[in-house]
């Protein structure tokens, strides 16, 4: 993975713990002569999920920087539960629909959306609001509820996740966009960009007895998204990943966008209020070379809509 290194920026994780009424001020864009001015991570706040995505993707060069005419695009939100967005368990459906629209506007020949859900898949697709939003935007919802949709793969270099079965149509796509929601998780502490990839494999339940944090990090041996868009508008701070009630949800109005999945998760730690040591798979993934968790080494752009 190619990563531009920038020294002059403060840690986003420290920024995003600032009071909700005030956008963090420590991270500023820096222009280096002879080096692309595009940021490694974009943090947006104080807009709707659609508004924040539009501003954030523009800062990364627009959707055309990721999707070329004729390409097949597949999008993986978190739509694992048969509940609406107010519960903070699933990715906002309006955000998913906007990504579909922008991918189609960039010339994608096909845009599909899927998740290997925990609740019954038809109910999760419908009751999350995702199916209706995606279809109205011109996208297609794909079933992922049967082992026949997955391809068995091996990665001998992994310590724990030496074999897994991954969603075939994701592997065949030209562009893979990962759209998690940021939330608390009972087993892994935080569910976000890397953790969202548990929904692209068939046999994820075995991970819990096979070094969960190592397995989560090692899924990146199999697949790395082209783009990560973290929905942190509503953040489930407790009783995740499902949530018990809307009382578990904080309205943060944040979004984090990056090609670097490790950097994206590292930035998200500050939004939810965790440290790097609280969520071991983030550091493990960085140490394996899948991305950069030290945000002081990256160029981070902040955008406040209001």
Q: Which helix H or strand E contains 261, and what residues bound it?
A: helix 261-272
pLDDT at residue 36, rounded to an integer: 60
How far is it, in rounded angstroms, from Cα 79 to Cα 200? 12
This prediction's pTM? 0.89
How far is it, in rounded angstroms, from Cα 214 to Cα 210? 8
How would residue 306 be classed by pLDDT, with cut points 50, 70 and 90? confident
Q: What is the 3-state secondary structure of 77-114?
A: ECCCCCCCHHHCCCCCHHHHHHHHHHHHHCCCCEEEEC
pLDDT at residue 59, rounded to an integer: 98
Q: Give the pLDDT mean for 248-262.
A: 97
For residue range 96-129, list pLDDT tens digits in order: 999 999 999 999 999 999 999 999 999 999 999 9
pLDDT at residue 245, rounded to an integer: 86
User: Which CATH architecture best describes the domain 12-304?
Assistant: 3-Layer(aba) Sandwich (3.40)
pLDDT of residue 23 exceeding 70:
no
The DSSP letter of residue 222 is T
How far is it, in rounded angstroms, from Cα 215 to Cα 74? 23
Chain mean pLDDT for the chain: 89
pLDDT at residue 2, rounded to an integer: 38
**Contact between 61 and 38 (Cβ < 8 Å):** yes
C-alpha torsion angle, residues 115, 121, 127, 128 (rounded to 10): -10
For residue range 43-87, list pLDDT tens digits in order: 999 999 999 999 999 999 999 999 999 999 999 999 999 999 999
Find all residues with CB under 8 Å of 225, minimum gap 6, and list them: 76, 176, 177, 178, 193, 197, 261
Strand partners, 245: none
Query: Taking CA 123 as the corner, what is the angle to CA 212 and CA 265, rounded to the nearest 5 degrees?
Result: 35
Share of the chain above pLDDT 70, in %: 88
Beta-strand relationship, 72-77 and 181-185: unpaired
Task: Please tell me the total number of residues recorded for the chain in this structure.
Answer: 306
pLDDT of residue 268 exceeding 50:
yes
């Amino acid at each position: 993975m190619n990563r531009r290194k920038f020294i002059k920026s403060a840690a986003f994780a420290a920024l995003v713990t600032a009071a909700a009424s005030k956008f963090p001020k420590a991270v500023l864009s820096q222009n280096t002569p002879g080096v692309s001015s595009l940021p490694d991570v974009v943090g947006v706040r104080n807009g709707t999920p659609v508004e924040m995505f539009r501003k954030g993707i523009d800062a990364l060069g627009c959707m055309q920087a990721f999707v070329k005419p004729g390409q097949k695009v597949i999008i993986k939100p978190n739509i694992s539960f048969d509940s609406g967005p107010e519960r903070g368990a699933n990715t906002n459906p309006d955000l998913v629909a906007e990504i579909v629209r922008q991918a189609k506007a960039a010339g994608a020949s096909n845009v599909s959306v899927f998740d290997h859900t925990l609740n019954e898949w038809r109910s999760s697709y419908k009751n999350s609001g995702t199916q209706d939003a995606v279809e109205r935007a011109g996208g297609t919802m794909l079933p992922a509820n049967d082992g026949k949709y997955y391809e068995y793969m091996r990665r001998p270099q992994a310590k724990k996740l030496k074999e897994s079965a991954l969603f075939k149509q994701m592997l065949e796509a030209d562009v893979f966009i990962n759209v998690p929601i940021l939330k608390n998780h009972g087993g892994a502490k935080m569910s976000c960009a890397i953790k969202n990839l548990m929904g692209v494999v068939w046999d994820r339940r075995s991970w819990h007895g096979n070094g969960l944090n190592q397995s989560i990090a090692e899924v990146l041996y199999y697949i790395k998204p082209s783009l990560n868009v973290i929905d942190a508008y509503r953040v489930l701070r407790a009783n995740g990943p499902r949530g018990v009630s809307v009382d578990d949800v904080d309205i943060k109005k944040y979004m984090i966008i990056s090609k670097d999945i490790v950097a994206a998760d590292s930035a998200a730690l500050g939004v939810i209020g965790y440290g790097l040591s609280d969520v071991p798979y983030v550091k493990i993934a960085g140490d394996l070379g899948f991305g950069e968790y030290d945000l002081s080494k990256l160029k981070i752009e902040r955008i406040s809509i209001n």
